[in-house]
Amino acid sequence: MTRSSRRAGQASNKCGLPGAPEQGSAVVDFVLVGGLLTMFFLAIIQLTLIIHVRNTLIDAAASGARYGTLADRGAPDAEERTRGLIGAALNPGFAEHVSTSEATIQGFRTLEVTVRAPMPVIGLIGPREMLEVKGHAAVQP
């Protein structure tokens, strides 16, 4: 190979003609795609946490309502039971706003336990009383 042909080959690579190496593009692609996938993964984890907290609160409210409708129990017992379950499963901060009331659903008297808790937006931190769930149980005649 002569000198002039080597120079011509070098010039074609520097000008971006076919066969020219793409220097540095893999690093940029990795950073952009990696950052996007990381944010997507964290969003899925946070959504899973929100659903877990919601389901735990619903279960605690329903269990507290069933406990409060037993023959020797009442609405204050339902509130206490609900607070205890939420405090054990999540955090006592989620059990600050628990209330009970009687409601009629499809002609049956029921005890309704309402829980208002923070919506976990970043980890378990979030705006207060954004998440409201209710649990019902039929009152024994």
Q: Give the tens place of pLDDT for each residue, 22-53.
A: 666 788 889 999 999 999 999 999 999 999 99
Q: Give the tens place of pLDDT for each residue, 90-141.
A: 999 999 999 999 999 999 999 999 999 999 988 888 888 789 999 999 998 7
Q: DSSP label at 139?
A: P
CB neighbours of 46 closer than 8 A, spacing ≥ 6?
120, 121, 122
User: Which residues make beta-bridge pairs with 122?
Assistant: 125
Question: How many other C-beta atoms lie within 10 A of the C-beta of residue 67?
Answer: 20
Among 111, 45, 41, CA closest to 77:
111
